[in-house]
């Protein structure tokens, strides 16, 4: 078995001898590799180091967590941290990564030395990040975690320093470990209340003081990360996606942060330093919202999740322009194939909504009938070997939009754009099967009735063969571990009372139309 590339991105240097050249950065389990697409060769690779010495090294993570929670890392035959997120800086020379051990790493890519990876900074987050984005200033990183918080962190933040650059105050009973982890020393000082019998007079307060005196030691106060950071905003629910945008408002540029969560909310907040200001909400989803996509050069936001439709929004005015249905006829066959392989041929529920889980939405280029570059969107559904597509003109139209199905051989995992082409990473685990494919899209026919036609870019696909030949992680990896790494969107769906078998039997006995809701 060959391990698929779970996430990919493109680095294009903004200056230097390699200016404008596209390098494909791909994560294969715990390894990060760089491919020169133009020359079709692997140029460098990187793998996080594991502390060597003792047979087992225990790293205590106390930043924002219970002091007793520890992560065990073995130095021999252990599972290395796997990459789950990649974000390229606009300068094309820095890369921000997130691994499943909650570590955020900043890597410098030296394009003058075969795109060599050099780790320049790393820190552990209190909660696992789910979205990262590098801002246009090439200095700040927005990091959203599943706990619902969004942080702004400098890519070059130094440990133990405050936001204003002054040295942070270090407690005597702590030392700063690698990557900013705080390791508590043994023997904490006993708790001593500040109040005494001379300062407390009421009966109730005296009893409270006696209880404090009897308690030997209070649990240690939780502390936040020890590196330069700023908490921008928070959600009560699990945060699922985030995008950053800049628009002109009141005669100047204003930044916005759009966030989505498991409770069907899409929030529009101002960017730093006014991120506490909530501009409004885009409400309309009845299931979780897993993906947000801002269509370039427009004010259109496309959202998708657990509903059997994707939303097209005028996000500046918080208005739902239209719902684009995910037609059951397009995906029923794919659903049956996947369900049979997973559940051994069990019966498939006819309700498509229960299977819909949008795992990705990407804006991609294509050539229209006049030969000019236009924009379309690609929508991926988790564990289904297809894309759903629509053009920008169809999204902007007041008429109903019908998504077009683009069948694939394998399940798509990630998409990047290289010029007018797209490169797709597939969940292809059979040895020798292509884990990447390059496509070119052209619109055939008139503007009103034309259809998008996707064709394989043979030239670029040939240059991507070096990726297929890359071994990466060996075949000992279990399929379940790979599934846990690649697929998790459907788990966001909440269990409803009416989803239980008993409620299904009750619904079958009900009169037709009794429990139906109006559209």
Has residue 371 been placed in a domain? no
Decide if 420 contacts 442 (C-beta within 8 A).
no
Has residue 22 been placed in a domain? no
Domain count, the chain: 1
Determine the pLDDT at residue 161: 52
Has residue 73 been placed in a domain? no
Has residue 136 been placed in a domain? yes
Structural domain that includes position 147:
127-158+225-283
Has residue 356 been placed in a domain? no
Determine the pLDDT at residue 54: 34
Determine the pLDDT at residue 339: 53
Decide if 315 contacts 258 (C-beta within 8 A).
yes
Determine the pLDDT at residue 213: 77
Residues 6+ apart with CB under 8 A from 229: 151, 152, 153, 157, 163
Decide if 358 contacts 291 (C-beta within 8 A).
yes
Has residue 86 been placed in a domain? no
Find the CATH number of the domain harbouring 257: 2.40.10
- Using CA atoms, how far apart are residues 357 and 381, in angstroms rounded to an integer? 6
Determine the pLDDT at residue 202: 87
Determine the pLDDT at residue 288: 96
Q: What is the mean pLDDT of each run of 10 residues along the chain (519 residues)?
A: 93 85 92 91 88 38 42 50 95 94 94 86 92 94 94 81 44 36 47 77 85 65 72 94 92 94 96 94 96 96 96 97 86 59 44 72 88 90 92 92 89 94 94 91 62 89 84 69 93 73 46 43
Decide if 324 contacts 293 (C-beta within 8 A).
no
Which pTM does this prediction carry? 0.79
- As a whole number of angstroms, the longest Cα–Cα distance in the chain is 90
Residue with the two structure tokens 């759903």? 388
Has residue 173 been placed in a domain? no
- Using CA atoms, how far apart are residues 452 and 387, in angstroms rounded to an integer? 12
Determine the pLDDT at residue 74: 39
- Using CA atoms, how far apart are residues 217 and 471, in angstroms rounded to an integer? 54
Decide if 403 contacts 330 (C-beta within 8 A).
yes
Establish how many alpha carbons lie within 13 A of residue 303's alpha carbon, considering only the half-sphere containing its beta carbon: 37
- Using CA atoms, how far apart are residues 335 and 347, in angstroms rounded to an integer? 11
Residues 6+ apart with CB under 8 A from 136: 90, 246
- Beta strands of 400-460 (E only): which ranges? 404-407, 412-418, 421-426, 436-444, 451-456
Has residue 143 been placed in a domain? yes
Residues composing the chain: 519
């Amino acid at each position: 078995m060959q391990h698929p590339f779970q996430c990919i991105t493109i680095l294009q240097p903004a200056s230097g001898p390699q200016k404008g050249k596209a390098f494909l950065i791909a994560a294969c389990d715990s390894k990060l590799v760089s491919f020169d697409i133009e020359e079709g060769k692997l140029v460098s690779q990187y793998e996080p180091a594991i502390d060597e010495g003792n047979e087992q090294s225990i790293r205590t993570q106390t930043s924002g967590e219970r002091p007793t929670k520890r992560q065990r890392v073995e130095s021999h035959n252990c599972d290395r941290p796997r990459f789950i997120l990649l974000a390229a800086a606009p300068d094309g020379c820095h890369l921000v990564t997130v691994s499943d051990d909650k570590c955020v790493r900043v890597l410098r890519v030296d394009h003058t030395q075969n795109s060599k990876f050099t780790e320049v900074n790393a820190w552990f987050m209190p909660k696992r990040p789910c979205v990262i984005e590098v801002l246009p200033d090439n200095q700040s990183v927005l990091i959203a975690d599943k706990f619902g918080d969004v942080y702004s962190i400098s890519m070059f933040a130094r440990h133990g320093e405050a936001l204003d650059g002054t040295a942070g105050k270090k407690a005597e009973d702590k030392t700063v470990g690698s990557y900013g982890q705080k390791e508590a020393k043994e023997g904490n000082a006993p708790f001593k209340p500040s109040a005494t019998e001379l300062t407390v007079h009421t009966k109730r307060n005296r009893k409270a003081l006696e209880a404090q005196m009897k308690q030997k030691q209070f649990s240690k106060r939780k502390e936040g990360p020890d590196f330069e950071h700023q908490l921008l905003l928070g959600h009560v629910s699990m945060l699922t996606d985030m995008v950053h945008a800049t628009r002109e408002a009141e005669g100047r540029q204003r930044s916005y942060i759009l966030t989505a969560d498991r409770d069907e909310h899409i929030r529009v907040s101002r960017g730093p330093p006014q991120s506490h200001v909530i501009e409004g909400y885009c409400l309309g989803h009845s299931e979780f919202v897993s993906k947000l996509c801002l269509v370039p050069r427009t004010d259109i936001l496309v959202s998708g999740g657990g509903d059997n439709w994707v939303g097209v929004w005028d996000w500046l005015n918080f208005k739902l322009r239209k719902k684009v249905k995910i037609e059951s006829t397009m995906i029923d066959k794919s659903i049956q194939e996947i369900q049979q392989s997973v559940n051994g041929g069990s019966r498939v529920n006819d309700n498509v909504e229960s299977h819909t889980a949008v795992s990705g939405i990407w804006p991609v280029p294509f050539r229209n009938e006049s030969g000019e570059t236009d924009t379309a969107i690609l929508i991926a559904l988790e564990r289904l070997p297809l894309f759903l597509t629509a053009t920008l003109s169809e999204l902007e139209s007041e008429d109903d939009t019908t998504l077009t199905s683009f069948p694939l051989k394998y399940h798509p995992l990630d998409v990047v754009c290289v010029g007018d082409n797209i490169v797709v990473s597939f969940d292809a685990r059979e040895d020798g099967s292509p884990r990447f494919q390059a496509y070119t899209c052209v619109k055939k026919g008139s503007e009103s009735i034309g259809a998008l036609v996707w064709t394989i870019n043979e030239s670029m696909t040939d240059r991507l063969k070096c990726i297929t030949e890359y071994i990466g992680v060996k075949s000992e990896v279990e399929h379940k571990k790979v599934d846990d790494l690649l697929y998790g969107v459907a788990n966001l769906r909440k269990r409803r009372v009416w989803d239980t078998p008993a409620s299904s039997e009750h619904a079958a006995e009900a009169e037709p139309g009794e429990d139906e809701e109006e559209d």
